[in-house]
């Protein structure tokens, strides 16, 4: 590989001039700049990022941990994060934790060894000791989707209580009186908020809260399928099922198909998540749209604020979900 000395020799300038041109650190005449840039192209020279990070103690890299890369929701969040990273001259390294605390621990250790400058984390269900320690040591961290329970930190979440209320009110307005819900892990704040709003909304409309109508899924299509079968096999099955994400909704639809039940005429399904392909899906399915891209943008901006000032007061941002009706 070509070195900076090779570039300087080719351009007929000093290594200092090459460095200034590449880093845009000071004024260099247009003629010398062109000579350096031509030498860089001719030699296919690339800056040694590792060497630069050792000198500057900056890697211009952040790490991001998500629960499931197969879930379209997280793809939109990542896109928002990447757009902010590009504007700030940073790169993004992604880790897929499968909602497993051990995988989360593995990625945190791996990314810290690579000296990422901060973390964006969808925290896995379970013990928060390790992520709390990062915040305590003033490692720049911002949490997405799921705010921590046991400590204070920068976080961007959606108003899951409002989203669930919108969903229940819509289903009640269509005449449903037996509404079940399938969430993710009950230990996570987002799902506790959904459960609380589901119960509150049913009470406000004078509807019963049947035992077993609140199910703890794990965000996968398979968990939506398994819980839907149990709900449909009850003596008094629900006429509507609200799921906390898109993948679990697809599992519910699979269960309905297996049981020979029509959606929405026999059992209506609604998801706290959305996908573009639902616009052409039959039957039409209404959803609660989570501001996923905006969550990525806001979370990344919070993290860069934290990188610039590790002593600033933690900031909480709550984004508003909306109801998307597909009659």
Q: What confidence tens digit (pLDDT) does each residue in 258-297 have? A: 999 999 999 999 998 888 878 888 888 999 999 999 999 9
Q: What confidence tens digit (pLDDT) does each residue in 9-25 have? A: 999 999 888 888 887 76
Q: Rounded to an integer, what distance in angstroms lies between the CA atom of residue 94 and that of residue 131?
A: 17
DSSP labels, 8-23: HHHHTS-HHHHHHHHH
pLDDT value of residue 49: 52
pLDDT value of residue 25: 66
Q: Is the pLDDT of residue 101 over 50?
A: yes
Distances (CA, A) of 202 to 184, 233, 267: 20, 22, 18
Q: Is the pLDDT of residue 54 over 80?
A: no
Confidence of residue 47 (pLDDT cuts 50, 70, 90): low
State percent of the chain over pLDDT 70.
96
More reliable by pLDDT, 241 or 1: 241
Q: Is the pLDDT of residue 50 over 50?
A: no
Domain 160-289 in CATH 3.40.50.10860? The answer is no
Q: What confidence tens digit (pLDDT) does each residue in 174-205 have? A: 999 999 999 998 888 889 999 999 999 999 99
Q: Is the pLDDT of residue 58 over 90?
A: no
Q: Rounded to an integer, what distance in angstroms lies between the CA atom of residue 197 and that of residue 161?
A: 5
Q: Name the one residue in this structure whose structure tokens are 């800056």.
A: 47
pLDDT value of residue 261: 96
| Sign of the dihedral defined by the CA atoms of residues 308, 310, 312, 316, in that order | positive
Helix (H) or strand (E) holding 110: helix 101-113
pTM of the predicted model as reported, rounded to 2 decimal places? 0.80
Q: Taking residues 106-130, what's their average pLDDT?
A: 90
Contact 78, 64 (CB under 8 A): yes
Q: Rounded to an integer, what distance in angstroms lies between the CA atom of residue 91 and that of residue 61?
A: 5
Domain 59-158+292-320 in CATH 3.30.70.20? The answer is no
Q: Taking residues 115-128, what's their average pLDDT?
A: 90
Q: What confidence tens digit (pLDDT) does each residue in 206-237 have? A: 998 989 999 999 989 999 999 999 999 999 99
Ranges of CATH 3.40.50.2300 domains, the chain: 59-158+292-320, 160-289
Residue 210: both structure tokens together: 């049947």
pLDDT value of residue 138: 92
Contact 88, 94 (CB under 8 A): no
Q: Is the pLDDT of residue 83 over 70?
A: yes
């Amino acid at each position: 590989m070509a070195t900076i000395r090779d570039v300087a020799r080719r351009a007929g300038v000093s290594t200092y001039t090459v460095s200034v041109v590449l880093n845009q650190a000071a004024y260099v005449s247009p003629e010398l700049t062109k000579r350096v840039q031509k030498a860089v192209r001719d030699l296919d020279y690339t800056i040694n990022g590792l060497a630069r990070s050792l000198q500057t103690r900056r890697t211009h890299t952040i790490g991001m941990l998500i629960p499931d890369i197969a879930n379209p929701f997280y793809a939109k969040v990542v896109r928002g994060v990447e757009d902010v990273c590009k504007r700030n001259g940073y790169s993004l390294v992604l880790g897929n934790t499968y909602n497993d605390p051990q995988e989360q621990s593995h990625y945190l250790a791996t990314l810290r060894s690579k000296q990422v400058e901060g973390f964006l984390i969808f925290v896995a269900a379970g013990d928060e000791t390790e992520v709390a320690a990062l915040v305590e040591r003033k490692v720049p961290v911002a949490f997405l989707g799921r705010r921590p329970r046991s400590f204070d930190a920068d976080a961007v979440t959606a108003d899951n209580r409002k989203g669930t209320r919108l969903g229940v009110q819509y289903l009640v307005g269509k005449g449903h009186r037996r509404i079940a819900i399938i969430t993710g892990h009950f230990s996570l704040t987002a799902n506790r908020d959904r459960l609380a709003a589901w119960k509150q909304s049913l009470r406000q409309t004078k509807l019963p809260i049947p035992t077993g109508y609140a199910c703890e899924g794990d965000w996968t299509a398979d968990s939506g399928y398994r819980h839907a079968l149990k709900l449909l096999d009850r003596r008094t099955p629900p006429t509507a099922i609200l799921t906390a994400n898109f993948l679990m909704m697809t599992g519910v639809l699979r269960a309905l198909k297996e049981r020979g039940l029509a959606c929405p005429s026999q059992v209506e399904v609604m998801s706290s998540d959305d996908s573009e392909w639902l616009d052409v899906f039959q039957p039409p399915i209404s959803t609660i749209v989570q501001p996923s891209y905006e969550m990525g943008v806001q979370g990344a901006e919070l993290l860069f604020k934290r990188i610039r000032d590790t002593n600033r007061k933690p900031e909480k941002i709550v984004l508003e979900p909306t109801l998307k009706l597909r009659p």
